[in-house]
Amino acid sequence: MSDQRLGANFINRQSFIELDARERATALFDAGTSRELVGPFDRVESPWLEMQGVTPQEDDGCVVMKGKIAGKAAVVIALEGAFQGGSLGEVSGEKMTAAIDLACADNEKGIPTSAVILVETGGVRLQEANLGLAATAELMASMLALRKHAPVICLTAGTVGAFGGMALAVGLASYIAMTREARLGMNGPEVIEQENGLDEFDSSDHALIWAIDGGEQRYATGLVDALVDDDTPQVVKVIRRFVSKGVPPVHRSSEVALYRSRIEALDASRQWDPKELRALWTTNQVEEEKR
Amino acid sequence: MEHIELNYPAKRKVSKKAHTGVVGSGDLEVLLEPAPDNIAKVSIRTSVDGFSKAWKAVLDRFFSKYDGAVRIQINDAGATPGNVQLRLAQAVEVSEQ
């Protein structure tokens, strides 16, 4: 943590991480323009959790809001990390996909509508395994359809981060923003340790986890577009900037040759240090900035 | 999973809905809605079995001071009685803002 980060602004910060999903979504819209779709009082909850001894939540941990960002129509989908780790079930997955599909339909009708997904999730909800997997696949297909018309922006603020199939969905976004507190990765540290042993990944080593999955590293290696402080006005500024930017000329997930060449050039016979990786891949940072 | 239903007399109409909390470990979700009749109905769903006496004690105390005609739904993930009281108070505050 640099001295700059511990300056006077640290105290005056309005933490974004401390907000719940509904407050996060509301904060991103132009004041007074947002309304919630399929809210808790509509009582569309998971039918699968109660029979497995888990109390359902009335919005299934997924908040969908429509309104205006920087004067333009937008939908915000926020996952609630505190409910079942923000996991994707049948209902929360369908809410996300339907919201993206409606935004896509609006674009086709000539109403430019972008989407912002606030990702706090460990991935598929294990209690709804196959339905959650299907939901992830549907969401990814819908994101691909929408991103041709309007930007699909993913923000992972923390502290849950973005893991599992949802991390792949994040990879499809037009723009990705993270905080230093957030993590982004396919397999979570504990999963890697469980499958490949302590030598492969020590999931109790927090410095190591953040050095690999953390926002700062993801930004430094060009895998995300913005690194933002945990400050609501700054988060709002970044989201507004990406909404205004529109569809990028090339999406990151289409740069197959670039990422394949990075992997091919890497000597996998030895252990790489996260800092070395930054030095190696930072040459592309200038290109990333131009996107 | 345990379901608990409790009823209390009410005197006063409430005009606004309120939603507070998250079904996260040690926390709960409270949905408070205006009811048409002079009765307050509480439905509790909790993942922790065997605490119906504690729930009744907490709700009895809450309704000794609150007289709104409401439907309250509680989705609980193991909140302590103190936490339940705070979420209920928060819901009342939001509904009367």
Task: Tell me the pLDDT band of A12, cut-offs 50, 70 and 90.
Answer: confident
Burial of A176 (0-12, 13-18, 19+ CB in 10 A): buried
Decide: A155 and A116 in contact? Cβ < 8 Å: yes
Tell me: pLDDT of A31 over 50. Answer: yes
Tell me: pLDDT of A4 over 80. Answer: no
Task: Tell me the pLDDT band of A5, cut-offs 50, 70 and 90.
Answer: low
Give the whole-number percent of chain A exceeding pLDDT 90: 86
Sign of the four-CA dihedral A44, B79, B3, B94 = negative
Tell which residue, B38, B36, B41, B44, has the closest CA to residue B4: B44
Tell me: pLDDT of A2 over 70. Answer: no
Tell me: pLDDT of A288 over 50. Answer: no
Average pLDDT over residues A259-282: 89
Tell which residue, A163, A161, A156, A158, has the closest CA to residue A178: A156
Decide: A142 and A163 in contact? Cβ < 8 Å: no
pLDDT at A268: 87
Q: How many CB atoms lie within 10 A of CB B86?
A: 16
For residue A197, give the amino acid letter. G
pLDDT at A289: 46
Decide: A22 and A52 in contact? Cβ < 8 Å: no
Q: How many CB atoms lie within 10 A of CB B10?
A: 19
Decide: B63 and B40 in contact? Cβ < 8 Å: yes
Q: Which residues of B touch A58 (CB under 8 A)?
A: 19, 29, 31, 73, 75
pLDDT at A271: 85
pLDDT at A286: 45
How close, in Å, is residue B89 to chain A by CA atoms? 18
Tell me: pLDDT of A148 over 90. Answer: yes
Q: How many domains does chain A fold into?
A: 1
The shortest CB-CB distance from B23 to any of A39, A41, A57 is to: A57
How close, in Å, is residue B47 to chain A by CA atoms? 6
Average pLDDT over residues A159-188: 96
Task: Tell me the pLDDT band of A1, cut-offs 50, 70 and 90.
Answer: very low
Beta bridge partners of B41: B7, B71
Residue segments in chain B with a per-residue pLDDT below the cut of 70: none
Q: Whole-angstrom Cα distance, residue A94 to residue A142? A: 11
Tell me: pLDDT of A279 over 60. Answer: yes
A1 in any annotated domain: no
Tell me: pLDDT of A285 over 60. Answer: no
Q: What is the pLDDT of residues A234-246, one digit of tens each?
A: 999 999 999 999 9
Q: Do A55 and B1 touch (CB under 8 A)?
A: yes
- Name the residue with higher pLDDT: B31 or A158: B31
Q: Read off the pTM.
A: 0.94
pLDDT at A163: 96
Burial of A256 (0-12, 13-18, 19+ CB in 10 A): exposed
pLDDT at A7: 57
Query: Domain range spanning residue A87?
Result: 14-290
Residues in chain A: 291
Decide: B95 and B68 in contact? Cβ < 8 Å: yes
CA dihedral in degrees (A223, A229, A231, A236; nearest 10)? -40
What residues in chain B have their Cβ under 8 A from chain A's Cβ atoms? 1, 17, 19, 22-24, 27, 29, 31, 33, 45-47, 73, 75-77
Count residue pairs from A and B with Cβ separation < 8 A: 42
Q: Which residues of B touch A38 (CB under 8 A)?
A: none
pLDDT at A126: 93
Residues 6+ apart with CB under 8 A from A271: none
The shortest CB-CB distance from B22 to any of A39, A41, A80 is to: A80
Q: What ipTM does the predicted assembly reach?
A: 0.94
Task: Tell me the pLDDT band of A98, cut-offs 50, 70 and 90.
Answer: very high
Phi-psi sector, B20: left (phi>0), alpha (psi -120 to 50), beta: beta
Cα A51 to the center of its chain, rounded Å: 30
Which fold would CATH assign to domain B2-95? Ribosomal Protein S5; domain 2 (3.30.230)
3-state secondary structure of A141: helix
Q: Whole-angstrom Cα distance, residue B81 to residue B79? A: 7
Q: Do A82 and B27 touch (CB under 8 A)?
A: yes
Query: Which domain CATH number covers A131?
Result: 3.90.226.10
> So where are chain B's domains?
2-95
Q: What is the pLDDT of residues A32-42, one digit of tens each?
A: 999 999 999 99
